[in-house]
Structure 1
Amino acid sequence: MNRFDRFLAIDWSGAMGERQRGIQIAYLDIEAGTGPVLMRLPDAKNWGRVVIKNLLMKLARADRRTLVGLDFCFSVPWPEEGPLPEGEAPLDRVEELWDLVENICSGEAHYYAGPAIRSMESAFAPYILCDRYRGDEFRFDRFRETESQLSPKPASIYHCMGAKQIGPGSFAGMRMFHALRAVNDHRIAIWPFDPIEDANVVLCEMYPSLFYQMAGLKRAYDHETIQNTLAYFHSGSPPRMSIQDEADAVISVAALRALAADPTLFSDPRRVAAAQREGWIFGLAPS
């Protein structure tokens, strides 16, 4: 039996500002028995990161369990010597990483994380390639363990240039996690770092391209690709959509519902030592 009553997939954004067009949310309810629904705000405005944080806190107070997929890296590559360049203060736990990101970016509103990426004073600067500089220790192959098991591999969190960059959104997401930790609500679990059995809301990292690959397809925004991918995950017809971000959220929420029925996808990654610091992409079975 599925352990969740509803599912949300949040296609994320690291853009500056209070609201971001790139944030799209798809929703599935077990009881409703319908296909994915795109969630809209009553005021017809775009979603924002602070609004998302408040939504998660509201869901935690409900009497139904929700699995929420978020499209950003929950952590950074974490080798034995630690996740920061030599000379920086050592970090032992992922919460310390989130605290550091918040300290670097604390002057920015709406969880924007630009200073973590575009400031040469940032602790991460030696590892980063961005529009302002290339760090002395930047490498294109600096991946987390979970990313190293993907084929093709995504861009590294530190590759912060071009259309496929994920660094800005990921560091912004870490700021939101810092804020959620400050609330100290045990009903919100961030997987795989936290036990999930007693949580009303479980947050997991998702990678939409993986879900298209599972269906034997490439990520794309066209009717045939979307229909065939949804059919693979035994989901109903898609809602009306106009951009790729919406399609990614719709595909992802269907995948979350289908994959959540397999408890090994929650338990097996927790046995991977690196996952306790680096996180893990939900749906990817450790090799």
Structure 2
Amino acid sequence: MRKYSQFACVDWSGAKTERPTGIAVATMNQDGPPSLLAPHPRWSRADIRDWLLKLAGARTDILIGFDLSMALPFFDMNAYLPQWDASPTTPRDLWRLIDNICDDDPHLGSSSFVAHPEGKRHFRHSKNHIGDLFEGGTGRLRVVEQHQRDTKQAKSASCFNLIGAAQVGKSSLTGMRMLHQLDGAIPIWPFDPIPESGPVIVEIYTTVAAWAAGLPKGRSKTRNRAGLVQALKTLGSPAPARLASYDDHSTDALITAAWMQQAAQDERLWKPPVMTAEIAEKEGWTFGII
């Protein structure tokens, strides 16, 4: 099984601003402890893209987890965007469609896609603005997202829901723009084969790491040093340097980077039984869900 010398978690954000407070990046080597990469000013989404391209150019041996969905649901309706003639049939074509429509949106934003005459039909935009093709309730889910819920491994939200604290639609759409702009520079599991060396990107869910670190369900965030140190201790990781601020984006990234260092060696997580080749090809999978 492939070995990695470094691990990184990117806690992503779909906020409209250039440098969202919700982006945090933590890295860890085989010995630990995890540490934050905290540039001044804050990270932008374009900064993250450029950092990834540098890792690709240097062939850095690193596993990078992104807290976002890397595709829209497909199998529930045999289409990513039903009733739209331009609906793609592959994730990369989906990323291209979103990026092209949002070409004029600053900061890798996604506003133009959810405002597009066809695109907007699929989303819940607000309590009083719901597209006619939004499925209602939770919204459409990918196979892995429904599986997470059915098995109580996590409680994923639908990418088609754009409201509420737990919404992941905006972050996922902006993330898909970024993935398209990488232009294949870094393999993305499970869409691509895993190379023998160099960087690899996976989709992760920070709540899975938090639960593995002993944080209770329903209270999977920690916002103080004591909670962070205890979570990392549960994962067998040393305590990090003191942080300027213990916001949940930073602590999520640190805990998840430490979890990835362990999880990467668990062969079951790379071969989840429910993930067929077709699911891997069309919808992808969340690393850590079995």
Structure 1-normalised TM-score?
Answer: 0.88
Taking a change above 3 Å as real, the CA distance of residues 231 and 271 of structure 1, as seen in their structure-2 partners, is: farther
Q: CA–CA distance in 2 between the matches of 1:233 and 1:149?
A: 25
Q: CA–CA distance in 2 between the matches of 1:81 and 1:63?
A: 37
Q: CA–CA distance in 1 between the matches of 2:101 and 2:94?
A: 11
**Contact between 2:59 and 2:197, CA under 8 Å: does it hold in 1?**
no
Q: CA–CA distance in 2 between the matches of 1:120 and 1:134?
A: 14
**Contact between 2:213 and 2:255, CA under 8 Å: does it hold in 1?**
no
Q: Aligned residues: percent identity?
A: 32
Taking a change above 3 Å as real, the CA distance of residues 90 and 141 of structure 1, as seen in their structure-2 partners, is: closer
User: What is the letter of the counterpart of residue 244 of structure 1?
Assistant: D
**Contact between 2:125 and 2:161, CA under 8 Å: does it hold in 1?**
yes
**Contact between 1:130 and 1:160, CA under 8 Å: does it hold in 2?**
yes
User: What is the letter of the counterpart of residue 237 of structure 2?
Assistant: S
**Contact between 2:235 and 2:259, CA under 8 Å: does it hold in 1?**
yes
Residue 145 of structure 1: aligned partner? 143
Candidates 35, 38, 41, aligned match of 1:40: 38
Taking a change above 3 Å as real, the CA distance of residues 142 and 63 of structure 1, as seen in their structure-2 partners, is: closer
Q: What CA deviation, in whole Å up to 9, does each residue of 1:192-222 have, x standing for no partner? A: 1011124511111110111122344331214
Taking a change above 3 Å as real, the CA distance of residues 157 and 199 of structure 1, as seen in their structure-2 partners, is: farther
Structure 2 unaligned regions, length at least 5: none
Residue 104 of structure 1: aligned partner? 101
Instruction: Trace 1:121-270 onto structure 2 (pairs within 5 A).
Output: 121=117, 123-131=118-126, 133-138=129-134, 139=136, 140-150=138-148, 151=152, 152-181=154-183, 184-185=184-185, 188-218=186-216, 219-221=220-222, 222-223=224-225, 225-239=227-241, 240=243, 241-268=245-272
Alpha-carbon offset, residue 63 of structure 1: 4.5
Structure 2-normalised TM-score?
Answer: 0.88
Residue 19 of structure 1: aligned partner? 19
Residue 70 of structure 1: aligned partner? 66
Q: What CA deviation, in whole Å up to 9, does each residue of 1:90-113 have, x standing for no partner? A: 422111100111122111122111
Q: CA–CA distance in 1 between the matches of 2:2 and 2:254?
A: 19
Q: CA–CA distance in 2 between the matches of 1:50 and 1:279?
A: 23
Alpha-carbon offset, residue 264 of structure 1: 3.3
Alpha-carbon offset, residue 88 of structure 1: 2.6
Instruction: Trace 1:46-57 onto structure 2 (pairs within 5 A).
Output: 46-57=42-53
The total of aligned residue pairs comes to: 275
**Contact between 2:2 and 2:196, CA under 8 Å: does it hold in 1?**
no
